[in-house]
Amino acid sequence: MAFLLAVSQVTSADWAVVGACVALAVATGLFIFYIRPDASDLAPHRSRLDQLLERRDTIYDNLRDLRFEYRAGKYSESDYETMKTSMEMEAAALLAEIDQLTDSVTKRPRAPKSVVPRGAQ
C-alpha cells in the first residue's frame, strides 16, 4: 500500500526524468549491440605522402592511357601534345613536392669530408 501511495505522489516532471533515463538506456543498448563501425573508421588515415603517391600513380596511368588513345587515332597530334605536356608538368610539380616532403621527413646523412694532409697538396 505504501508503494501505491508513493507512486501517486510522483509529479509529471519526475515521470519525464524517468522516461528520459529509460530512453537513454535503450539508446545506449542499441548503440552497443546493433551499430557496427564502418570499415573506413578502422582504416588508418592517409598521410600527405600517401595522397601524393596515389596522385602520381593516377597521372602515370592517365599518360599511358593518353598514349594508347593517341595511337588508336582518337586524338590529333596537337591535342595529344597539349594534353601530354599538361600532364607531364603536373607530374613534375607533384614529384618536386614528393621530393620536398621526403627530404624534410628523412634527413639524409652527409658524406664525410675527405681530409687531405697539409703536406700532400
pLDDT digit string, tens, across residues 63-113: 999 999 999 999 999 999 999 999 999 999 999 999 998 887 666 556 666
Residue 27 located in a structural domain:
no
Look at residue 85 in the predicted model and tell me its pLDDT: 97
Look at residue 10 in the predicted model and tell me its pLDDT: 67
Look at residue 31 in the predicted model and tell me its pLDDT: 86
Residue 120 located in a structural domain:
no
Residue 38 located in a structural domain:
no
Residue 24 located in a structural domain:
no
- What mean pLDDT, rounded, does the chain reach? 83
Kindly state the average pLDDT of the residues 6-33: 84
Confidence band for 117, pLDDT divided at 50, 70 and 90 = low
Residue 63 located in a structural domain:
yes
Residue 33 located in a structural domain:
no
Number of domains into which the chain is organized: 1
Residue 68 buriedness (CB in 10 A; 0-12 / 13-18 / 19+): exposed
Q: Show the cell assigned to 116.
A: 687531405
Confidence band for 15, pLDDT divided at 50, 70 and 90 = confident
> Distance between CA atoms of 20 and 14, rounded to whole angstroms?
10
Residue 23 located in a structural domain:
no
Residue 92's domain spans which residues? Answer: 46-105
Residue 88 located in a structural domain:
yes
Of the two residues 119 and 2, the one the predictor is more confident about is 119
